[in-house]
Amino acid sequence: MTSDAGSLTRWGITPSQTVGPYLSLGLPWSDGSYVVPAGTPDAVRIGGQVVDGAGVPVPDALVETWQADPAGRFDHPDDPRGACPPTVPGFRGFGRSPTDTDGRWWVLTVKPGCLPCPDGDLEAPHLTVSVLGRGMLDRLVTRIYFPDEQEANAADPVLAALPAAARATLVAQKDEDGLRFDIRLQGANETCFFAV
């Protein structure tokens, strides 16, 4: 197809190749926020708000989480140690939460265990997070670390490689509902995102 005005009229204007705004057509699951079933012992609610560079809530984003179980294992063939059934009944390791009209998202999960690095170091307990949304040409990838893991966080090789300001954007904060992790897409205090 050529890019002349006649071809646009004939074919209509099509959406740009972004990861949104069609997220609501097929990606959300009715139970997507439940990495573990409600009532799971030691479950923690992690949630927050996705905002743009001006601090305006993003109402049509999708936040996905991926994590190990509390033993630091994955029930997945790509785990170099071999797939291992989860230690928590009903744990699926993956969550998917669309943002609401105020940009809020949440998942119910359990704290993962530490993960081994190829060099023998350990990564602190964390969730890997993907953010998808309108106007984004690719997903953004970040991590959520736990505020009660100061020693493990200090030894984590990923956190250690970052400047202090960037590290601070990756650690959730305690709140009345569990843990709060806001995701700022741009601007001052932008969440640290990783090139993957």
Task: With beta carbons less than 8 A apart as the criterion, state whether 129 and 143 touch.
Answer: yes
Cβ burial of 141 (10 Å; 0-12, 13-18, 19+) is middle
Report, in angstroms and rounded to the nearest whole number, the Rg of the chain calculated over CA atoms. 19
Q: Is 113 left (phi over 0), alpha (psi -120 to 50) or beta?
A: beta
Q: Which helix (H) or strand (E) holds 183?
A: strand 183-184
Predicted confidence at residue 135, as pLDDT, reads 74
Sign of CA dihedral 74, 76, 78, 80: positive
Helical ranges in 120-162 per DSSP H: 150-155, 157-160
Contacts of 68 (CB under 8 A, 6+ apart): 74, 93, 112, 113, 115
Cross-strand bridge partners of residue 129: 65, 142
Q: Are 84 and 92 in contact (CB under 8 A)?
A: no
The answer to whether 19 and 151 are in contact (CB under 8 A) is no
pLDDT grade, residue 60 (50/70/90)? Answer: confident
Q: What is the pLDDT of residue 22?
A: 52
Average pLDDT over residues 160-184: 96
**Is a pLDDT exceeding 50 seen at residue 77?**
yes
Domain residue limits, the chain? 16-184
16-184: CATH topology: Protocatechuate 3,4-Dioxygenase, subunit A (2.60.130)
CA 169 to chain centre: 13
**Proportion of the chain above pLDDT 90, given as a percent:** 68
Confidence of residue 143 (pLDDT cuts 50, 70, 90): very high
pLDDT greater than 70 at residue 1: no
Lowest mean pLDDT among 4-8, 132-136, 141-145: 4-8
Read off the pTM.
Answer: 0.85
The arithmetic mean of pLDDT across residues 89-107, rounded, is 95
